[in-house]
Amino acid sequence: MARASVVLLLLASCAGAQWINYPARGTPRTKDGKPSLTAHAPRARDGKPDLSGVWEALEPPLNKAVLWKGEDFDDPSLDLLNFMPDGARMPIRPEGEAIYRQRAETNAVGRPSGRCLPHGIPDAMLIGAQFKIVQEPGLTLILLEEFNHYRQVFADGRGHPAEMTPAWFGYSVGKWEHDTFVVDTVGFNDRTWLDDHGHPHSEALHTIERFRRRDFGHMEMQLIIDDPKYYTAPFTAMVQFHLLPDTDLIENVCDNERDSRHEVAK
C-alpha cells in the first residue's frame, strides 16, 4: 500500500491546487451565469480555434486488456490502454513487454514521479492533473501543474533542430490542419514512462498529437506513438478533455521528496 500512498499524495496535491472561482472574461455563460461549456469554440486572432484554457483528461472506461486491476491501481486513467478501443493491445515487442511486466509485478516501484522526476508524453496529461494551454501566434505553451513543468510547441514554421540533446518532453513543432492543431515531437530521453502503469519507451520515441476543440468546454486529442525499439508498429489512442472554467493553475512543486524510499514491492 506504500506505493498507493505515494500516488495518492501526488495526485491529491494537484486536485486541490486550483485558483478557484475567478470568473474569466470572455467565457460564454448561461442565463444563470454559469459557463456554457457547449457554446462554440473560441477563435484566435488569426481565425484558428483557440485551445487556450485549463484542461483535464476525462476518465475513460477500463480496457479489458489492462494488466493491473488490483486495488492499488484501479484508476483507469493510469494506463494508456484505457484510451484505446476495448480489448486493444499495444504492438509491444518482447523487450518492452518484459519491462512492463517487471514494473507491474513490483507495483511500479521506481516510477519517475515518485522521485520528483517528470511525467512525460502522454503520461503528464493522463494522470488526472490539470494543465493549461496558452496559444499565441507562432508559439503554444502547455503548462503542466504537476511539478510546475511546461512544454513549448513552436508553430512558426521551423522544423525539428538538426542536433538535439535527449529531453524529458522532447522537441515539439506544431502546425494547423484545418481546425486541428498537430504537434510533432521527437528528441526524447528514455527516462519517462508512457503512462503511470509503466509502458516503456526509448530515445527513438516519436509522438504526434492532434488537438481538436469541439466546443467551448470539450477537446479531444488523437495520439500516435511510434517507437520502433519497443513496439512493432505505430499505435493510436484517443484522449478526451474537459475545460475547467473560472479557475487557474497554482504552484505545485515536488520538494525534498522522501516517500519513495519507503516503497515496497508486493
pLDDT tens-digit series, residues 191-214: 999 998 899 999 999 999 999 999
Span 160-195, pLDDT tens digits: 999 999 999 999 999 999 999 999 999 999 999 999
Task: Report the percent of the chain where pLDDT is more than 90.
Answer: 62
Domain spans, the chain: 2-22+41-255
CATH number of 2-22+41-255: 2.40.128.20
Instruction: Produce one character per residue of 223-260: b if its CB has 16 or more CB atoms within 10 Å, e if not.
Output: bebebeebbeeebebebebebbbbbbbeebebeeeeeb
The pLDDT of residue 67 is 67
How many helices (H) and strands (E) the chain has is answered by 2, 9
The pLDDT of residue 253 is 85
Confidence class for position 69, pLDDT limits 50, 70, 90: low
Span 107-166, pLDDT tens digits: 778 889 888 999 999 999 988 789 999 999 999 999 999 888 999 999 999 999 999 999
User: Parallel, antiparallel, or unpaired: how do β-strands 171-177 and 149-154 relate?
Assistant: parallel
